[in-house]
Amino acid sequence: MNQLTGACIIGQSGGPTSVINASAQGVIQTALREGCITRVLGAAHGIKGVLDDKLYDMGQEDMAELDLLQYTPSSALGSCRYKLADPDLDDTDYKRILEVFKKYNVRYFFYNGGNDSMDTCNKISKYMQKMGYECRVMGVPKTIDNDLNGTDHCPGFGSAAKYIATSCAEVWQDAHVYDTGTVTVIEIMGRHAGWLAGSSALASRIGCGPDLVYLPEVDFDMDEFIASVREIYERTGKCMVAVSEGIHYADGRFVSEAETSATDGFGHAQLGGLAAMLANEIKERIGAKVRGIELSLLQRCGSHLSSKTDLEEAFLAGKTAVEAAVAGQTDKMVAFECDRSNGYSCVPVLQPLDIVANIEKKVPRAWINDAGNGLTDAFIDFVLPLVQGEPDTPRENALPRFARLKKVLTTDM
């Protein structure tokens, strides 16, 4: 293996998580220690920062503030949803990226994101190879959606799952106080995959789980939904429902899509408003008192409920990416191989970017009950190890002390 000497760039992309900055910390602090990495640059707003030559010199940050990154939710460097064109149709962006890479002698590129970001990472990797520019490109996984292919699970998911299960259990307590009837609908993120909404069922292990759970893996039928809610409500006086934002009818139309028409850079519909919409439907057709709750951004930035396991694995993913790249690896994403047969163990492995980019991993149908409105024990046993442990979050005036980065932009001409 030849030693490759040069600068590195780390970028964050897509929707943030409560532990994505632990991965950034893993990349930045490991890269700062590697002799062959001459400079550590942070891209402002992911690949857009490279295109705009807006790069932070991470070497100028205080080490103590970098240490706090792991307790700081959301993307500290800024994120983006920017789709690179097919290079055979339009290579403008790629030429610009190569120009910026050459300007700073960038020989290592770490991109921290989910499906769409791995598409970006893969395209850049292949373009650099095609142009004969030696640069080691590594994907660092993150997504609360847990839908990346080739890995047991994704950093960010365990913490969001813990937030969701805890919030559902807390709401369950509140939703059961009155002696009058109530229906509660909780809307959970996850777009096309139901891992997050399914995690609400973890609350059932402590006796406070939702009565019904709806995932995008099963076609939604409004009449069947109303019938199931009615049956539970009439029998018990209460009904708590967890729904994925991505539930859709058999013809593919999102149940919530009517509420919003905005799309992001990758053409994904901006989902939301589903809880309120279903609450209205229930109120009109059943006549119950209904509350619709959208967990929205809280579920992906709620670092006060982060999982220590998730946080440590997120850091490990970043650290592994740098160590593997320095050791000669490129064109890969860090993935996890886990064993749950005797306790829980997790080791980082590398997967080719080709098998990761643009493939969405769904909840297996066998882990959803036959009626399509609940989860099996196999699902819960899969998720439970990922939510374990509480990080020792630093505090200031009883509030979390997040990292305060200087974010010094490079001024190279």
Instruction: Give min distance, CB of 277 to ligand F6P, in A.
Output: 16
Is residue 190 near ligand F6P by the rule CB under 6 A?
yes
- Contacting ligand F6P (CB under 6 A), which of 221, 264, 354, 360? 264
Instruction: Give min distance, CB of 300 to ligand F6P, in A.
Output: 5
Instruction: Give min distance, CB of 269 to ligand F6P, in A.
Output: 9
Instruction: Give min distance, CB of 218 to ligand F6P, in A.
Output: 18
The total number of residues shown for the chain amounts to 413
Q: Which is nearer to ligand F6P, 218 or 324 (CB)?
A: 218
Residues contacting 252, CB < 8 A, separation 6+ = none
Q: Please report, as residue ranges, which positions from 235 to 254 form the binding site for ligand F6P (by CB under 6 A).
A: 245
Integer Rg of the chain from CA: 22
Is residue 292 near ligand F6P by the rule CB under 6 A?
no
Q: Euclidean distance between the first and final Cα of the chain, in Å?
A: 32
Is residue 385 near ligand F6P by the rule CB under 6 A?
no
Ordered DSSP codes for 148-195? BTTSS--TTHHHHHHHHHHHHHHHHHHHTSSSS-EEEEEEE--TT--H
Q: Please report, as residue ranges, which positions from 64 to 103 form the binding site for ligand F6P (by CB under 6 A).
A: 81
Residue whose C-alpha is closest to residue 111's, from 122, 96, 102, 103: 122
Residues near ligand F6P (CB under 6 A), total:
15
Is residue 23 near ligand F6P by the rule CB under 6 A?
no
3-state helix, strand, coil in the chain (%, to 5): 40, 20, 40
Strands 345-352 and 182-188 turn out to be: unpaired
Is residue 155 near ligand F6P by the rule CB under 6 A?
no
In whole angstroms, give the CA distance from residue 164 to residue 298: 9
Q: Is 370 part of the annotated catalytic residue set?
A: no
Ordered DSSP codes for 79-141? ----PPPPTTT--HHHHHHHHHHHHTTEEEEEEEESHHHHHHHHHHHHHHHHTT---EEEEEE
Is residue 270 near ligand F6P by the rule CB under 6 A?
yes
Q: Which is nearer to ligand F6P, 116 or 331 (CB)?
A: 116
Instruction: Give min distance, CB of 148 to ligand F6P, in A.
Output: 11
User: Which residue has its beta carbon closest to ligand F6P?
Assistant: 15
The residues annotated with a catalytic role in the active site are 145
Sites of contact with ligand F6P (CB under 6 A): 14-15, 81, 114, 143-145, 189-191, 245, 264, 270-271, 300
